[in-house]
Each structure stands twice: as C-alpha cells, then as structure tokens.
Amino acid sequence: AALAFVGCSDFFDTNSPSTLDKKAVFSNAERTEMAIYGVYELLGENDSYRNRIGCGFAGLNTDIEWSTFSTSTDIQNQQVVLYGITTANGKVANGKKSIWYYLNSMVERCNNIIEGIEEYGDPANNEQMRYFLGEAYFLRSFAYLEQVKMWGDVPARFVSLASNDEGVNTPKTDRNVIFEQLRIDLLKAADYMPWSPECPGKANNKVSRANKAAALALLARADLMYAGKAVRPTTLEDPNGYSVRFN
C-alpha cells in the first residue's frame, strides 16, 4: 500500500475537482442564482429570521404594541423586548448559530456575490445579472438594517473577507456611516431591479423575491430609522444623542 501511495503523485492534492472559482460561478446566471438562494436560505434557519427576527423577537415594545416580557423576572426576556440585548443573552446568542451569526453570514455571502457579479457577470449588458446584483444589494442592506435595529453601532464590512482578510477585525462603526451606505446601496438596488411583473427568470412576479418596490420600501424604512431619535442614545459626552447628517 505504501508503494502504491508513492506512485500517486497527486494523492495528497487538497484541491477538490468539484470546486468552482469566482469566475466560473458569477459568469453563469444559473450558478449565480444558486448563490443568491444561499443568502435566502440563511433566513429560514433555526434561530434566524424564521423564529427570531421575523416574529418581532427583538424590541417588541413600541408605540403600537407592548409585551409583558418587559416586566418579566427573566432578565434575558426583558433585554429582548427593551432593546437591551447583550452578547451573553441566550435567547439570541445560542453558540455558533445565533442571529448575529446569520446576519453577518448574509453580509459576507452578499459581499462575495456583489464583487463576483461586478467583475464577471457583465450586469451592464445582462438583464438577469443586473437583477441579481440589485437583489444582493437589497439583501445586504436588509441584514445591516436588522443589525443596527438590535445593536446600534456594528462593524461595517462592505468588502468580502476574500478581498480583505483584515475585515474580520473591523471595529464598531458609527451607525450614521452605515445608514449613509444603505441609502447608496438601496438606490442602486431599486435601479437594478424592475417591478415584480418585469423581473427576469424565476423571479418574475414572485412575492418571495426582492424587486424595485421592496428596495424602495426598505429605503423608506431605513430613512425613517436614520432620522429617528430611538436609535440615537444619549451619552455623557453628547446628552442630545447622535446628530443626523444629511448631505
């Protein structure tokens, strides 16, 4: 057996023959759409949007609703509904598979898709690739808006780790910077994606996929949050809270 291994020069080759590089994926519409599905898939995972974010798990107390959890003796439940979630809260931080994990995984997958399509997909001349690019911008914006809603200032990573491996050490970023980037990205998404009945391929007239209306609606929500006092806490240095910057 040892002699047989010596005779096989590629026995210890770690490159999988089924591996596709970025060009092979993002120059092909079908493979690109599979990558997009990989972002949506994260929304349906346990402890993700399916049964945490999507059901208003964080910040249930607003001007239109109230939860008895706010007076619960369970401190973790209080944190959830009063926008006071900590990294130690087991309701949203359950080991590896937490809301934080899923939202940041969405961001990273979208970063790779955006870079891949812009480099290899020819979105200027390919209607379907242009739509996928808008969809990726929309999904990344959604993930960041959820993060800001729950944690305020969060690391802003709008470049993939493959392009910048130091991105994993990105510190918290002023939420104003994130809101301003979301405005740019969602305007791009609204430009790249048509209305639902005009979307190409499998996204045509499907409410389960993003479109121009979804991008504009998310932009409106982001702008309302951007201008709101609720996401701008006061500090000893700034008793009036964050200021809103409009260009």
DSSP string for 63-117? SS---GGGG-S-HHHHHHHTT---TT-TTT--TTSSHHHHHHHHHHHHHHHHHHI
pLDDT at 3 over 80: no
pLDDT at 66 over 70: yes
pLDDT at 166 over 90: no
Q: What is the pLDDT of residue 63?
A: 63
Q: What is the pLDDT of residues 30-47, one digit of tens each?
A: 999 999 999 999 988 877
Tally of CB atoms within 10 A around 136: 28
Q: What is the pLDDT of residue 160?
A: 94
Q: Two tokens at 106?
A: 């969405």
State the residue for tokens 């049964």.
51
Tally of CB atoms within 10 A around 222: 21
Give buried/exposed letters for 155-167 (b at 16+ CB in 10 A, else e): bbbbebeeeeeeb
Q: What is the pLDDT of residue 244?
A: 58
Q: What is the pLDDT of residue 143?
A: 95
Considering 37-51, 74-88, 107-121, 231-245, the range whose residues carry the highest mean pLDDT is 107-121
Q: What is the pLDDT of residues 209-236, one digit of tens each?
A: 999 999 999 999 999 888 876 666 666 5
Which amino acid belongs to residue 145?
Answer: L
pLDDT at 240 over 70: no
Task: Assign 102 to helix, strand or coil.
Answer: helix
Question: If pLDDT is split at 50, 70 and 90, which confidence band does 58 have?
Answer: low
